[in-house]
Amino acid sequence: MNHASRRIRLIMDLRNSGVTDTAVLSAMERIPRENFVEESFLDQAWANRALPIRCGQTISQPLVVGLMTQALALTDRMRVLEIGTGSGYQAAILSRLCRRLYTIERHRDLLAMAETRFTAMSLHNITTLAGDGWKGWPRQAPFERILVTAAARVVPQELVAQLSDDGGVLVLPVGDASLEDQMVVRVTKSAGKLSSEQLFPVRFVPLVEGVSKESVY
């Protein structure tokens, strides 16, 4: 089965599993996941599973990508912050759904590879930063939406502070990465007040403070 056939099957599976937002499904169908996986896993590029990438990180399971993206309720006028660029796959999908995406990655080598992919795919509305995801990107705040693609022990208050006060939404996995108790949480900020809801259980790598100095090359 070729990539096109596998892509069609995956999109159908996602729809049947709760990803019902047609804009999200369209973005996921248009972004070639095979561009973001390691060469040794190309045959699994369109499988509904997380796959390892460099620096001990992963490219998330498509179902989780779809559900978390859907939970943001994006429009094409929004400014969005992503914490954890990784391979760039989630960022590429978000870029198809918002006006401007800002994405932070602590591993400089991962970020460089993601930037190469963004350029090759002509994704020109993505701005990148090698930095500490716990701190967010204060100079570019506020953001209408923030998505975190690693598990935080608690909801980072620095990110909450960078949310728009007019219905800003933060979606992130919360929980101890060493235990099977992570939960995707959606935090909404309006008129200085916060509300939160638990969405679904997940397993993510931990959100680590600081910027990595290691190289994978």
Q: Which residues are catalytic?
A: 60
Cα gap 14→144, rounded to integer Å: 26
Q: How far apart are CA 157 and CA 56, in angstroms?
A: 26
Residues in CB range of 59: below 8 A, 6 or more apart: 33, 36, 37, 50, 51, 53, 86, 87, 89
Specify burial of residue 157 (Cβ count, 10 A radius: 0-12, 13-18, 19+): exposed
Q: Which residues pair with 80 in a beta bridge?
A: 101, 145
Q: For residues 178 and 95, give the distance between their C-alpha atoms in angstroms, rounded to a whole number.
A: 31
**Backbone torsions φ then ψ of 59, nearest 5 degrees:** -95, 125
Backbone angles phi, psi at 200, to 5 degrees: -160, 155
Cα atoms in the 13 Å half-sphere on the side-chain side of 23: 13
Cα-based distances in Å from 211 to 57, 104, 106, 129: 14, 10, 4, 11
